[in-house]
Amino acid sequence: MYRTQRLFDLLQILRARRFPVAGAQLATELGVSLRTLYRDINTLREQGAQIDGDPGLGFILRPGFLLPPLMFSEEEIEALVLGSRWVMDRGDVPLSAAARNALSKIAAVLPNHLRPTLDFSALLAGYAKGAENAHIAREADLSQLRKAIRAERKIRIAYQDSGGATSTRTIWPFALGYFEHVRLLVAWCELRQAFRNFRTDRITVLAITEERYPRRRQALLKEWRELEGIPLQ
């Protein structure tokens, strides 16, 4: 492994961790000796990375240090293009525009030899002709749902079930699933005192409250995954 790539990989590992990581663990993940690991950390510090910690205590990267996107591999670029194309085709208008803008920003800083991978990726987001659904046009404002999730705010909704019956609920939204022809809001429902999935096209009224729900979004997501048997990512 080239040293430049190893330094970048080290930054990526530290960036993904919220708590200090032991030097021995970092060295194992990178396939280098502890001595080399410590030397790499000193090199990154000299280049401006704010890495706290010492041998025996572990290391952690302070938030705010920007990683250069020009270090993406060809497969990573293909993954970004495929995911962005999927969002552009199936996301709501603000999210679709955000995906398009993100690709433009990545393209602006990629070196010339990687531009063809971005511009002419052979991976396509599958699209079924004639699959447009009328309910997409009248579904709840997904940008407002994402806003509530980010802010960890309770929302009040009027929800219509498959039989047409409507109920009013206060829920704690913490995840939003995008599927081929339906969007599912995952939340804790105060009425049912349990996790529930809500189809966004059946939410007829939506109001974000000023009240934060009492648990962290990450904790709710983790508990829901465990109950559903969905592996943590």
Phi-psi region of 17 (alpha: psi -120 to 50; beta: other; left: phi over 0): beta
What are the tokens at 220? 């709710």
Query: Does pLDDT of 1 surpass 90?
Result: no
Work out the pLDDT band at 124, boundaries 50, 70, 90.
low
Phi, psi angle pair for 55, to nearest 5° = -55, 135
- What one-letter code names the amino acid at 36? T
Our CA dihedral for 189, 194, 195, 201, rounded to 10 degrees, sits at -40
Give the containing element (helix H, strand E) for 51. Answer: strand 51-54
Task: Note the CATH number of domain 134-228.
Answer: 2.30.30
**164-179 pLDDT tens trace:** 899 999 999 999 988 8
Q: What is the domain class of 3-61 according to CATH?
A: mainly alpha
Give the chain's end-to-end CA distance (angstroms, integer): 26
Q: What is the pTM of this model?
A: 0.61
